[in-house]
């Protein structure tokens, strides 16, 4: 015990030196970016009080102490400054802030640019954490500007319930929940990544026999590389598109009547999927080609408009009710206004994404009015060529709208994946008919 009494004070006295030594070792072992992150973290901690005062992130405490206030207290208020804790991350820092008084999330959001300038960093985002705390994501290297490549594998595991879109500014995964989803609406200028998004979605789902694809290609050539893995496929022919939508709608009707008999539950997502009842994904690229009625007076215009109205009616029902039976519709267009995608369809899509847009009106049509409250994720800021492949979305586990860099899938890899998984392609209506057939009628 006597020896312990002498040892403990020594350890306590050496604690600051121990911390410094640990930081020094971490600094020596870090790469160039890691060292810059550590230096930035030290600077933020040591200059925080001065930075908070300069940015107005403090409050004067005018409450009188229990013994009453004095004349000196009236002339000099005590300043309340939020406390912070700084932790390094992959591309920057995470700053945990303990709020005080009336200094909260709105104040930090308003001062985000001032803090970024004071700390000399590329980007800073404030978001709520647990009650009484905020999180500041400080980015030194913008991961959105780093092009990434996705190499698919026919043996890769497939997650039907979550789609990892890519990474955010901080290099961390950005994902959306795809369970209980029947509609995905995608907007964006031509050449900014909509087709790449389809390729990425295809690459993440194609290795599983629990997924089947129906593809309608409004450009007539963009999705042809994937058709080996699709049980239905067509180009920009309206009659063929009408046929495919009719087939998927018929599948919806068949499944609605058979779900209790085959799945023994009322919803596709209430249990594990089976090969006899795969998730069916209908992709319509350049959707306005098939959903916009013409005002022409040509003799064939009336027939064309009748088919368009028929397609709109079937898609409307699929988007509103298809999730229960495991059908998802993905609609892509440049400017998703009511003329391109009827609002009865667009506004019922649970997931909305937008690549670069040129106007506020187009961004609102794609994402809704709330996007104006998140200027850092506004699609108008994505017109820089460096942001080709970057999408704005309401992501799971992230407050408000976030940006995500979609990994690029090459044409060669997409063709190879479609070929290597073509044997998994099957017509879901035939699979359902086989599941409903009596056992003695199924051939050996």
Residues in the annotated binding site for ATP = 188-195
pLDDT at 311: 96
pLDDT at 155: 94
Strand-pair partners of 117: none
The closest of 337, 312, 340 to 245, measured between CA atoms, is 312
Task: Report the alpha-carbon distance of residue 362 to residue 374 in Å, rounded.
Answer: 15
Contact present, 389 and 403 (Cβ < 8 Å) = no
The closest of 425, 422, 441 to 433, measured between CA atoms, is 441
Task: Report the alpha-carbon distance of residue 397 to residue 126 in Å, rounded.
Answer: 14
Domains of the chain: 28-141 (3.30.980.40), 145-436 (3.40.50.300)
* Mean pLDDT across the chain: 87
Contact present, 390 and 174 (Cβ < 8 Å) = no
Please determine, for residue 105, whether its predicted confidence score (pLDDT) is greater than 90: no
Task: Report the alpha-carbon distance of residue 412 to residue 396 in Å, rounded.
Answer: 31
DSSP collapsed to 3 states, the chain: CHHHHHHHHHHHHHHHHHHHHHHHHHHHHCCHHHHHHHHHHHHHHHCHHHHHHHCCCCEEECCCCCCCCCHHHHHCCEEECCEEEEEECCCEEEEEEECECCECHHHHHHCHHHHHHHHCCCEEEEEECCCCEEEEEEECCCHHHCCCECCCCCCCCCCCCEEEEEECCCCCEEEEECCCCCEEEEECCCCCCHHHHHHHHHHHHCCCCCEEEEEEECCCCCCHHHHHHEEEEECCCHHHHHHHHHHHHHHHHHHHHHHHHHHCCCCHHHCCCECCECEEEEEEECCHHHHCCCCCCCCCHHHHHHHHHHHHHHHHHHHHHHHHHCEEEEEECCCCCCCCCCHHHHCCCCEEEECCCCCHHHHHHHHCHHHHHCHHHCHHHHCCHHHCCEEEEECCCCCCEEEEECCECCHHHHHHHHHHCHHHCCCHHHHHHHHHCCHHHCCC
From the CB of residue 97, how many other CB atoms can be counted at a distance below 10 Å? 23
The closest of 127, 182, 178 to 347, measured between CA atoms, is 182
Percentage of the chain exceeding pLDDT 70: 90
Q: Which tokens go with 103? A: 């200094």
287: confidence class by pLDDT, cuts 50, 70, 90: very high
15: confidence class by pLDDT, cuts 50, 70, 90: very low
Please determine, for residue 195, whether its predicted confidence score (pLDDT) is greater than 80: yes
Sequence-distant (≥ 6) Cβ neighbours of residue 361 within 8 angstroms: 337
Q: How far is CA 360 from the centre of its chain?
A: 20
What distances in angstroms separate CA 25 from CA 14, 18, 22, 46, 87, one per listed residue?
16, 11, 5, 20, 16
Indicate the range of 137-141, 329-333, 344-348, 354-358 predicted with least confidence.
137-141
- In terms of pLDDT, which residue wins out, 89 or 291? 291
14: confidence class by pLDDT, cuts 50, 70, 90: very low
Specify the pTM.
0.81
The closest of 284, 395, 394 to 329, measured between CA atoms, is 284
Q: Render pLDDT for 19-71 as a digit per residue (tens, 0 to 9).
A: 456 567 777 777 777 788 888 899 999 999 999 999 999 988 766 555 555 54
Q: Which tokens go with 343? A: 């609002």
Please determine, for residue 87, whether its predicted confidence score (pLDDT) is greater than 70: yes
pLDDT at 439: 54
The closest of 357, 428, 5, 305 to 187, measured between CA atoms, is 357
Please determine, for residue 245, whether its predicted confidence score (pLDDT) is greater than 50: yes
Please determine, for residue 327, whether its predicted confidence score (pLDDT) is greater than 90: yes
pLDDT at 21: 60
Task: Report the alpha-carbon distance of residue 304 to residue 302 in Å, rounded.
Answer: 5
Q: Which tokens go with 22? A: 């640990």
Q: Render pLDDT for 380-426 as a digit per residue (tens, 0 to 9).
A: 999 999 999 999 999 888 878 999 999 999 999 999 999 999 999 99
Please determine, for residue 12, whether its predicted confidence score (pLDDT) is greater than 70: no
Q: Render pLDDT for 336-386 as a digit per residue (tens, 0 to 9).
A: 888 889 999 999 999 999 999 999 999 999 999 989 888 888 999 999 999
Indicate the range of 16-20, 73-77, 124-128, 179-183 predicted with least confidence.
16-20
CB burial class (10 A; 0-12, 13-18, 19+) of residue 395? Answer: buried
Q: Which tokens go with 312? A: 């709109």
pLDDT at 438: 75
Mean pLDDT of 137-153: 90
Sequence-distant (≥ 6) Cβ neighbours of residue 337 within 8 angstroms: 361, 362, 365
pLDDT at 432: 95
Residues in the annotated binding site = 188-195
Task: Report the alpha-carbon distance of residue 367 to residue 142 in Å, rounded.
Answer: 23
pLDDT at 139: 87
């Amino acid at each position: 015990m006597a020896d312990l009494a002498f040892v403990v004070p020594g350890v306590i006295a050496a604690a600051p030196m121990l911390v410094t030594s640990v930081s020094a070792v971490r600094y020596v072992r870090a790469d160039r970016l890691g060292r810059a992150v550590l230096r930035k973290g030290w600077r933020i901690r040591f200059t925080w009080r001065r930075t908070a005062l300069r940015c107005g992130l403090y409050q004067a405490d005018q409450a009188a102490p229990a013994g009453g206030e004095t004349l000196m207290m009236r002339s000099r208020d005590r300043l309340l400054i939020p406390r912070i804790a700084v932790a390094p991350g992959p591309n920057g820092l995470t700053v945990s802030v303990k709020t005080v008084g009336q200094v909260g999330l709105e104040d930090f959001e308003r001062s985000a640019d001032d803090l970024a300038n004071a700390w000399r960093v590329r980007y800073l985002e404030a978001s709520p954490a647990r009650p009484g705390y905020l999180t500041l994501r400080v980015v030194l290297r913008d991961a959105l500007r780093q092009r990434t490549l996705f190499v698919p594998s026919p043996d890769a595991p497939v997650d039907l319930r979550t789609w990892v879109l890519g990474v955010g500014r901080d290099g961390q995964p950005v994902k959306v929940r795809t369970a209980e989803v029947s509609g995905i609406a995608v907007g964006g200028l031509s050449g900014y990544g909509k087709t790449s998004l389809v390729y990425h979605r295809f690459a993440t789902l194609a290795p599983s026999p629990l997924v089947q694809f129906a593809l309608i290609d409004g450009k007539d050539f963009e999705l042809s590389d994937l058709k080996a893995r699709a049980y239905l496929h067509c180009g920009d022919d309206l009659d063929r598109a009408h046929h495919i939508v009719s087939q998927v709608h018929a599948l919806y009707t068949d499944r609605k009547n058979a779900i209790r008999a085959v799945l023994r539950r009322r919803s596709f997502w209430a249990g594990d999927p089976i090969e006899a009842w795969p998730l069916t994904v209908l992709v319509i690229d350049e959707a306005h080609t098939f959903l916009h009625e013409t005002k022409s007076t040509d003799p064939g215009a009336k027939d064309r408009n009748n088919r368009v109205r028929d397609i709109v009616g079937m898609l409307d029902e699929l988007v509103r009710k298809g999730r229960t039976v495991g059908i998802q519709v993905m609609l892509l267009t440049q400017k998703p206004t009511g003329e391109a995608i009827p609002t009865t369809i667009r506004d019922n899509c649970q997931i909305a994404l937008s690549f670069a847009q040129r106007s506020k009106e187009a961004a609102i049509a794609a994402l809704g009015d709330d996007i104006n409250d998140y200027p850092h994720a506004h699609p108008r800021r994505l017109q820089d060529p460096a942001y080709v492949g970057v999408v704005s979305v309401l992501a799971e586990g992230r407050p408000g709208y976030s940006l995500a860099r979609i990994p690029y899938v090459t044409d060669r890899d997409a063709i190879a994946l479609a070929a290597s998984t073509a044997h998994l392609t099957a017509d879901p209506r035939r699979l359902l008919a086989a599941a409903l057939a009596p056992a003695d009628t199924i051939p050996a």
